[in-house]
Structure formats: C-alpha cells, structure tokens
C-alpha cells in the first residue's frame, strides 16, 4: 500500500505525529510560487512590484518567508501589522488596506512606518490627514477606487462594482474633492490609486476593463486637477484550479497582458505608465497547502448517498459552505486502491451545510483513513473559526522531508483562556 508524499514528507506519518485535522504547507511550493510571480512580473518589467496578500495565510513563519523572498506585504488590520512587525518585516514595504481602519489601526501603522496607506473613503482620508498633521508624520497614500467592473467570480468575492462597500465611487465630484484635499494636506503624499476587482479570477478581462476606466480618470485628473498618477496598485485575485478539470492560469500571459494594456492605455493618452503593483494571495498560498483529516463514521443511506465524516469541517475550511467552493481529495494512506465509490465528505460541525466535498471519487473510506484535501493553503487557516468549540488545527511547514510545526494546535486550556465566570454563578 503506497502513501502520499508532500514536499518529501509521508502524509500519513504527519497525521500520526501532529494529529488531525492538520494544515500542511510546503515551503518549497510557497517559495517557488513567490519566485514565479516575481519572474512573470517584477523581473520582466521595469517599475513594478509584487506584494503578498497576507489575508490568505499569515502566521509569523509565512511573514518570514515573504520577507526572505523579498516581496512586499498587503496588510488589513493591526493584527496583521503586529504579526509582520514581530518577525522584523520591513514595514516600508507594507501596504495597509481596509474599508474601516480605526484610529488605533492608523496610529499603529504610522508608529511602525507602514509604506502606503490605501485610503478607502472620504471619511478615512479626513481622519488620516488630521492624525498625520497632528503628529507631523508624512503618510504616502493611494486611493482605493470602485471602477464599476464585475469580475467573473462568486458574487461574495467581487469587489469593484459600483454598489460595493469598498473604494471611492467614480460617480459625482467626491473623488475629485478627495484628490484636491489630499494634494493640499501638508502631511499627505498622494501617489496614485488602487483597485481590486475580485478574487479567484481565472481570466484577466475585468482587470483590463478597470485599466481602461483608470486611464480616462488619470488623464482627466492630470488635465483638470494637475494631478500626476505615480503608482497604480491593481490588487490581487489571480485564480487557481480547485475542481476536477479546471486549468491553471498562464501567469506570463495573464500578467503580461495587464502590463501591456496599461502601457498602451497610458501612451494613447500621452502619459507615462505609473509604477504597477500587484498583490496576489491565493495564487501563492492556495496550492501550497493541504489539509489532513481522519475518517470517523461512514454512513450509507441506501440508494441515496454515503456520508464520510471527518474530524474537521467548516471550522477549519468555511469556503464550501460560504461560496460553494469545490475541492479535490484523496485517501492519503490508500493511493493504490481504485477510486470506485462516490461519497460525500462531511465535516463534524452541527450544520447540515457543513459538507467539504460532494461526490468525491475515492476507494470506499473506512474509519481511520487519512483524507488529504488539496489547495487549502489560502483562506482556510486565516478564516478558521472556533465553531462548536473545535480547537484550531496546527500548521506544519514541510520541506524536503522535514516537518516543523509553525502554529500549535489550540489546547483545551487555550479554548477557555480569558473567560471568567462571575462568582455567584459558580
Ligand atoms: N488585495 C486586496 C485589496 C484584496 O481585498 C484581496 C482579497 C487581495 C489583494 C488578494 O486576493 P487573492 O489574490 O487572494 O485573490 N475569502 C475569500 C477571498 C476573499 C478575498 C478578499 N480580498 C475566499 O476564500 O475565496
């Protein structure tokens, strides 16, 4: 019986040694992917930069890897900033996003010298400008825009349509007023704009449409407000194949088209192309991770379906229940057995919707088998919840046959830490 190997490690042994559910991340694949994006973008074109979007997966060890590969970092909260600072990340390479940064967040970001504030709305601009002036700290700013395009993806992860909580609308005079305010504010240095059309995009159509919109806007602002755009951050969003038969994105083509379109649009309007920044998260982290589960109960409903319940579920991977996301899996300890049954892999949470994979083709699973679910490196650990008081799984970083725990499994004591019971209730 042959078992599955992941970055040189026997997966069944990992399940035994570290317990399940278990997130396993391949250091080799993470590094390979960070280098691949750099090769397709920053090593191919002048005046461009790659950031990693921390929201996909950001334990401290991941910050350290991003730092060692020389990428910048997209952060969205003081928690992410704190994590980055804790590994000595060069914070001038961090971009701070979010549609509701608090005064506390902004203070921390200024204290640690975050490189760019991606200002989402008028309210935030006023707050940041006054805080920066009060403390006499200069802040470099991009405005996040809602260019009014819809990416081809689940509607929950479309982020650039007009009726969207993110970004400044292009309707009315609001944006121009913001540009005027920022250019007059003594401690605000407005460098340009940002958009993020959405996530899990297998095609670059929406980016190209957004670039056209931005081209017109940059030209108008130059002619009518005297504002020159120096930097344009076009967000993340590059998709990965999850389900059976889906194809990889061709990174060179995907990114090449974007840069060439930006160049054409600018030259047609008599402008120099601004510095271009991209910030992929999923493309780097997603395929670099797998999740291991142990099979528990197997229940056949005659003529209808067989439910194979595993020891994790929506608490460690909420994506199937949130976005109807598809995943592929194997029985890691029985790779040679024929996949001759179709089963539903169910989580253990108290929700009928806690189904990880519908219609998985597997050898008929038995109690104790190890299920390995692929492509769970992004938005799984980072979106894990404590539902049903399940303890958050450990994360193991593997490389060339060596496994190191980078996040410990929560203990029962961790679960009740910080909780107290008023004395009269005891
Ligand atoms: N930049 C900004 C401003 C973003 O909002 C995001 C993702 C990214 C970059 C990175 O996007 P990526 O390259 O990872 O697609 N929880 C959802 C995904 C939400 C993405 C939110 N923003 C999921 O599990 O599919």
Question: In the chain, what are the domains?
Answer: 5-10+289-410 (2.40.37.10), 27-153+162-286 (3.20.20.10)
Q: How far apart are CA 419 and CA 426, in angstroms?
A: 13
Q: Whose CA is nearest to atom 9 of ligand 1?
A: 236
Q: Is 280 annotated as a binding residue?
A: yes
**Which pLDDT score is estimated for 149?**
85
Binned at pLDDT 50, 70 and 90, residue 103 comes out as very high
**Which pLDDT score is estimated for 196?**
95
Q: Is 282 annotated as a binding residue?
A: yes
Average pLDDT over residues 261-282: 97
Q: How far apart are CA 232 and CA 259, in angstroms?
A: 11
* Nearest CA among 313, 392, 379 for reference residue 154: 379
Model confidence pLDDT, tens digit, residues 129-140: 999 999 999 999
Average pLDDT over residues 237-262: 95
Query: ipTM of this complex > 0.95?
Result: yes
Q: Which value, in Å, is the radius of gyration of the alpha carbons in the chain?
A: 23
Reading the block at residue 5, the tokens are 């190997």
**Which pLDDT score is estimated for 148?**
86
Q: Looking at 191-195, 217-221, 245-249, 387-391, which range is the least confident one? A: 245-249
DSSP string, 212-229: HHHHHHHHHHHHHH-PPP
Binned at pLDDT 50, 70 and 90, residue 276 comes out as very high
How many angstroms separate the alpha carbon of residue 83 from the centre of ligand 1?
A: 19
- Helix/strand/coil (H/E/C) assignment for every residue in 33-78: HHHHHHHHCCCCCCCEEEEEEHHHCCCHHHHHHHHHHCCEEEECCH
How many angstroms separate the alpha carbon of residue 378 from the centre of ligand 1?
A: 9
Do the bridges between strand 188-194 and strand 139-146 make them parallel or antiparallel, or are there none, so unpaired? Answer: parallel
**Closest atom of ligand 1 relative to the 97 alpha carbon:** 3
Q: How far apart are CA 103 and CA 100, in angstroms?
A: 9
Average pLDDT over residues 358-368: 97
Instruction: Examine the pLDDT at 1 and tell me if it is beyond 60.
Output: no
Q: Whose CA is nearest to atom 5 of ligand 1?
A: 196
**Which pLDDT score is estimated for 245?**
84
- For residues 174 and 168, the answer to whether their CB atoms sit within 8 Å is yes
Binned at pLDDT 50, 70 and 90, residue 155 comes out as confident
- Ligand 1: residues with CB < 6 A are 53, 55-56, 74, 97, 157, 159, 196, 199-200, 235-238, 279-283, 319, 323, 378-379, 383
**Which pLDDT score is estimated for 266?**
97
Q: Is 237 annotated as a binding residue?
A: yes
Reading the block at residue 316, the tokens are 């460690």
* Nearest CA among 285, 283, 284, 261 for reference residue 273: 261
Q: Whose CA is nearest to atom 20 of ligand 1?
A: 199
Catalytic residue, chosen from 164, 266, 350, 405, is 350
User: pTM here?
Assistant: 0.97
350 is catalytic: yes
Binned at pLDDT 50, 70 and 90, residue 183 comes out as very high
Binned at pLDDT 50, 70 and 90, residue 171 comes out as confident
Q: How far apart are CA 61 and CA 26, in angstroms?
A: 12
Cis peptide before 185 (omega within 30 of 0): no
Mean pLDDT of the chain, nearest integer: 96
Reading the block at residue 7, the tokens are 């970055």
How many angstroms separate the alpha carbon of residue 158 from the centre of ligand 1?
A: 9
Model confidence pLDDT, tens digit, residues 198-217: 999 999 999 999 999 999 99
How many angstroms separate the alpha carbon of residue 100 from the centre of ligand 1?
A: 16
Q: How far apart are CA 344 and CA 63, in angstroms?
A: 36
Phi/psi for 343 (5° steps) reads: -130, 165
Q: Is 273 annotated as a binding residue?
A: no
Task: List Cβ neighbours of 176 (8 Å cut-off, separation of 6 or more).
Answer: 221, 224, 225
**Which pLDDT score is estimated for 180?**
95
């Amino acid at each position: 019986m042959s078992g599955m190997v992941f970055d040189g490690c026997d997966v069944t042994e990992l399940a035994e040694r570290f317990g399940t559910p278990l997130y396993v991340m391949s250091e080799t694949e993470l590094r390979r992917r960070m280098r691949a994006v750099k090769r397709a973008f920053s090593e191919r074109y002048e005046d461009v930069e790659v950031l990693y979007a921390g929201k996909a997966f950001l334990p401290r060890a991941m910050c350290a890897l991003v730092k060692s590969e020389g990428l910048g970092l997209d952060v969205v909260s003081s928690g992410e900033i704190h994590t980055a600072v804790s590994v000595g990340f060069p914070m001038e390479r961090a971009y701070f996003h979010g549609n509701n940064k608090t005064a506390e967040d902004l203070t921390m970001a200024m204290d640690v010298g975050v490189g760019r504030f991606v200002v989402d709305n008028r309210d935030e601009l006023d707050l940041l400008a006054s805080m920066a002036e009060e403390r006499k700290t200069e802040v470099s700013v991009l405005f996040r825009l809602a260019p009014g395009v819809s990416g081809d993806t689940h509607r929950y992860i479309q982020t650039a349509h007009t009726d969207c909580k993110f970004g400044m609308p292009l309707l009315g005079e609001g944006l121009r007023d913001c540009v005027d305010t920022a250019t007059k504010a003594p401690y605000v240095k407005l460098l340009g704009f940002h958009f993020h059309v959405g996530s899990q995009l297998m095609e670059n159509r929406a980016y190209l449409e957004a670039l056209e919109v931005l081209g017109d806007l940059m030209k108008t602002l130059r002619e009518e407000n005297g504002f020159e755009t120096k930097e344009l951050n076009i967000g993340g969003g590059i998709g990965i194949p999850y389900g059976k038969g889906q194809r990889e994105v061709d990174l060179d083509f995907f990114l090449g088209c974007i840069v060439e379109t930006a160049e054409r649009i600018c030259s047609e309007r008599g402008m120099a192309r601004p510095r271009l920044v991209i910030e992929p998260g999923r493309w780097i982290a997603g395929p670099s991770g797998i999740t291991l589960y142990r099979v528990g109960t197997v229940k056949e409903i005659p003529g209808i379906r067989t439910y194979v319940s595993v020891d994790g579920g929506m608490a460690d991977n909420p994506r199937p229940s949130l976005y109807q996301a598809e995943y592929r899996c194997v029985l890691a300890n029985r790779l040679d057995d024929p996949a001759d049954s179709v089963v539903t892999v169910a989580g253990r949470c108290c929700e009928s919707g806690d189904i990880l994979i519908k219609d998985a083709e597997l050898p008929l699973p038995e109690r104790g088998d190890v299920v390995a679910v692929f492509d769970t490196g992004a938005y799984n650990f980072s979106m894990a919840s404590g539902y049903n008081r399940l303890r958050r799984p450990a994360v193991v970083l593997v490389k060339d046959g060596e496994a190191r725990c980078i996040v410990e499994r929560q203990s029962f004591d961790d679960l009740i830490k910080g909780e107290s019971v008023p004395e009269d209730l005891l």
